[in-house]
Structure 1
Amino acid sequence: MKKNIHPKYKEIVATCTSCNTEHKFGSTADKVTLDICSNCHPFYTGNRSTAKARGRVERFNKLLEKSKTTKK
């Protein structure tokens, strides 16, 4: 196996944007955000109401604001 070509594997904390739950797991990425996790997903909770897509909505609003400022 070649040395110094593989990314560093480390423990990170991923935060769910819907319920603010933190999940610890190993990854090569520095930061991970989850739009929905097993604690708040309707399939796992049994709740049939629509899931909150707050992460995607926030991302869309940021892009919308950015496009408004660049057009002026």
Structure 2
Amino acid sequence: MKQGIHPEYHPVVFLDSATGFKFLSGSTKGSSETTEWEDGNTYPLIRVEISSDSHPFYTGKQKFTQADGRVDRFNKKYGLKDANAAK
């Protein structure tokens, strides 16, 4: 790799604003806010709106759409019948 063109990675604490969940990870992003981590060291704090702790996919609260296609749902909703359907 070329020297001097890549950003420096450093430990950062990410805070999920929705749940209060914190995790320590490497990042190139900096912050003027700091927090003390479980190991007693102080790290920059970056607030995020969503993380694996609050994302519906990871929490199991994801809403699944119907298996039908859009046209079928429209036809069901407005009572239209498929002219090509077998009788």
TM-score (normalizing by structure 1): 0.53
1:6 aligns with 2:20: no
Distance 1:4 1:36 in 2: 33
Residue 18 of structure 1: how far off its partner (Å): 0.3
CA deviation vs aligned residue, 1:3-62 (integer Å, no higher than 9, x gap): 43432210110110000111111111114321111112222111258xxxxxxxxxxxxx
Report 1:25-44 matches (<5 A).
25-31=25-31, 32-44=46-58
RMSD after superposition: 2.2
Q: 1:15 is paired with a residue of what secondary structure?
A: strand
Q: Which has the higher strand share?
A: 2
AA matched with 2:61: N
Unpaired runs of at least 5, structure 2: 32-45, 64-87
TM-score (normalizing by structure 2): 0.45
Q: Which residue of 2 aligns with 1:21?
A: 21
Task: Please tell me whether Structure 1 or Structure 2 has the larger radius of gyration of its CA atoms.
Answer: 2
Structure 1 residue corresponding to 2:61, chosen from 25, 33, 47: 47
Distance 1:34 1:44 in 2: 16
How many residues are treated as equivalent by the alignment? 49
Unpaired runs of at least 5, structure 1: 50-72
Q: Which has the higher helix share?
A: 1
